[in-house]
Structure 1
């Protein structure tokens, strides 16, 4: 996949994630992070909003794990 294709994929995923329900957002997080990791490996400058979304999704994933812990 070319750098442009990777960036287009990341932007498409961003739109889908922003429109998705919370459970779907969590399900899309691994794919989104993989695409951003590939962009990093290609040394492509990643827009800040994509990095912020990645951080938000990681926080949501951690929070979801704690929400499901038995008391």
Structure 2
């Protein structure tokens, strides 16, 4: 739940990536947001929505244990 809220509300700062421990992906997201003047912040917004609709088990399997960095 915290990763979803971070992705939706402050995804432009890539806080959802850093919260999940994905430092490399977080830095990439920050750079993309700077280069595209914030247009790339749609990615963490979509990820936040996806996180909300996943079950806890599916989220854990995909992002915690599976270490899937993007969508």
Q: Tell me if both proteins adopt one fold, taking TM over 0.5 as the criterion.
A: no
The structure that has the greater radius of gyration is 1
Using structure 1 for the length normalisation, give the TM-score.
0.33
